[in-house]
Structure 1
């Protein structure tokens, strides 16, 4: 996906496939602020839940209780009506407080897990623009392969792809995060003649790292392109196969209006077309498999 400027949209979140599935789901469901800074998002005492009853539901409950007990016994002494109302109010307050404290405890536990997993996920804000675009390209290529028909129908070793491709995407994201940290900490200019060669060497290493990652991304994109070609050949093959399956009906139809030998020739052409497309499909699959092995 691209934004209005034509750039690819950097994935909001890239998660390590080594994390348990429950933690991955938790991270994907978390709010952006919680992912950026779980410590700040988790500030606040559990006992702040004592203020939970101070909201409009409590006022509504009190008004309802007062109305109920007043209508139930309009001539009863005030002290007789007071205690049931107080008891109802106390029960409501205790319920609201306990539920809010339980929710806060659950949130604190969830934020603790997010904090402990901070090095196991990469946010779009962690990356400098050049690194973000590389990750966006890698993510797009991986998604293209995993959405393809030949992947779905297991012509490209679906089980291996489902393991290897997320690992490759995570390795790229993790390396780009480290690159971005170093890129941001690199001075824009040298402070003196002696610092200039050191800074130049630093930038050379950073650029070599970025070039190496781009080669890996390009390999993923090549795999995605060859997978797309295999998809096109697969669709063509399935269509020809479907047409060939009705060959006998077509033969009967043609035999009614033209000579039998012409009808047979037409059916033979269909069969040859199916064979040709089938071979092209096999070739496309073989090229895609070679690209997949090149990623290892």
Structure 2
């Protein structure tokens, strides 16, 4: 997906696949502001929930009840309900307090989980534009592979892909975060002649790092392209197999109007076409598998 400037949309959140599934769910459900600033200390004390009844609705209800009971005479029957009403109001306030304290405790625990996982996820705001585009390209390539028909039908070792590919994206995202942090802290110009070679060396290391990451992204994109080719061959094979399944009926139809040998020749041509497409599919699938093994080779080493 691209924005109005033609650039790929950088993933808002990239999570380490090593995190437990429950923690990943918490991170994906969190608000962007909570992910940017997960410090629970700034979210209010747990026991501030004791002030939950101090609201204008509660004050209005209490004032109405006070006016109602004090306006009645001292011997009015309604005065009998005064203390039960006070007890009911107290119970209502206690319920409000307990619910608010429980909500604050849940929020505190959730923010604590986010804060402890801060180094295990990368936000789009963590990355400089060049780094963000590389991460977007890597994510797009992996999504293309995992959404392909040959992957879903397990022609490309689906179980292995589902483990290796998220790890590759996370390694790229984690490295790009460090790169972006150093890139932002790099001065725009040297303060003197002695500082210039040091700054140039610093920039050279950053450029080399970015080029290395781009090679990794390009490898993912090559894998995605080969997977797409295998997908196209697979779709072609399925279509021809579907057409060939009607060969017997087609033979009977042709035999009604032309000689049997002509009908057989027509069916044989369909069979040869199916075999040719099957061969092309196997070749495309083999290339995709070889690319997958090459992609995972550094990790295995």
The answer, yes or no, to whether TM exceeds 0.5 is yes
- Give the match's secondary structure for 2:178: helix
1:143-191 alpha-carbon deviations (Å, 9 max, x no partner) = 0000000000000000000000000000000000000000000000000
2:261 aligned with 1:261, yes or no? Answer: yes
Q: How does 1:1-296 map to 2 (within 5 A)?
A: 1-39=1-39, 42-55=42-55, 58=58, 76-296=76-296
1:28-75 alpha-carbon deviations (Å, 9 max, x no partner) = 000000000111685211122123234476478769989x99xxxxx8
Question: Cα gap change, 1:63/1:243 in structure 2, threshold over 3 Å: closer, same or farther?
Answer: farther
User: In structure 2, how many angstroms separate the alpha carbons of the residues matched to 1:59 and 1:193?
Assistant: 70
1:42, 1:108 within 8 Å by CA — same for their partners in 2? no
List runs of 5+ in structure 1 lacking aligned partners. 70-74
List runs of 5+ in structure 2 lacking aligned partners. 70-74, 297-301
User: In structure 2, how many angstroms separate the alpha carbons of the residues matched to 1:86 and 1:176?
Assistant: 61
RMSD (Å) for aligned C-alpha atoms: 2.2
TM-score by length of 1: 0.93
1:33, 1:41 within 8 Å by CA — same for their partners in 2? no
Higher mean C-alpha displacement, 46-55 vs 27-36: 46-55
1:248 CA displacement: 0.1
User: In structure 1, how many angstroms separate the alpha carbons of the residues matched to 2:59 and 2:46?
Assistant: 23
- Give the match's secondary structure for 1:295: helix
User: In structure 1, how many angstroms separate the alpha carbons of the residues matched to 2:59 and 2:269?
Assistant: 83
Question: Cα gap change, 1:65/1:198 in structure 2, threshold over 3 Å: closer, same or farther?
Answer: same
Higher mean C-alpha displacement, 157-166 vs 53-62: 53-62
User: In structure 1, how many angstroms separate the alpha carbons of the residues matched to 2:158 and 2:249?
Assistant: 37
Question: Cα gap change, 1:65/1:264 in structure 2, threshold over 3 Å: closer, same or farther?
Answer: farther
1:65, 1:88 within 8 Å by CA — same for their partners in 2? no
TM-score by length of 2: 0.92
